[in-house]
């Protein structure tokens, strides 16, 4: 089931993110707007577009979250591989996404200190 969902999620995300899908959505909204006077801008006429957009938005949230989670995981693995392959890199950076907030804050502080030192060196060399 999971593999089937991944397959269809990718296909749908690719399709929905295309210029053709945007054009179809724009056309649908234009048709809806043009039919307003025909239906006297009734509550039902408004309900149709509101319901349609709500349902599509609801489903797209799950689809987008799924593709973003997969993309983020792939990016983390690629970065981990780069860190692992560079001999001077600190392997403590591997799986950084699983660190506590305190550990991440400590690393941020460390890099801020490094940046300050580099900036001081740059200023003093001029």
pLDDT tens string 22-36 = 999 999 999 999 999
Provide the domain count of the chain.
2
CA atoms within 13 A on the CB side of 53: 10
**Same domain? 6 vs 64:** yes
pLDDT beyond 70 at 126: no
**Same domain? 68 vs 86:** yes
**Same domain? 66 vs 106:** no
Structural domain for 22, as ranges: 2-92
Q: What pLDDT digit, counting tens, does each position of 46-89 carry?
A: 999 999 999 999 999 998 898 899 899 899 899 888 988 988 88
Maximum Cα–Cα distance across the chain: 74
Threshold 0.75, pTM exceeds: no
**Same domain? 33 vs 68:** yes
**Same domain? 59 vs 11:** yes
Burial 40-76 (b: 16+ CB within 10 A, else e): eeeeebeeeeeeeeeeeeeeeeebeebbeeeeeeeee
**Same domain? 16 vs 44:** yes
**Same domain? 86 vs 122:** no
For residue 56, give Cα distances in angstroms to 16, 48, 49, 63: 11, 12, 11, 10
């Amino acid at each position: 089931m999971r593999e089937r969902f991944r397959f269809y999620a990718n296909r749908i995300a690719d399709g929905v993110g295309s210029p053709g899908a945007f054009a179809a959505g724009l056309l649908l909204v234009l048709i809806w707007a043009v039919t307003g006077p025909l239906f006297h801008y009734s509550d039902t006429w408004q309900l149709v577009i509101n319901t349609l957009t709500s349902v599509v938005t609801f489903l797209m949230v799950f689809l987008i979250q799924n593709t973003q989670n997969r993309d983020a995981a792939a990016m983390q693995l690629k970065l981990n591989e780069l860190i692992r392959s560079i001999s001077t890199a600190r392997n403590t950076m591997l799986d950084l996404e699983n660190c506590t907030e305190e550990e991440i804050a400590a690393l941020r502080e460390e890099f801020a200190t490094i940046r300050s030192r580099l900036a001081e060196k740059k200023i003093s060399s001029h």
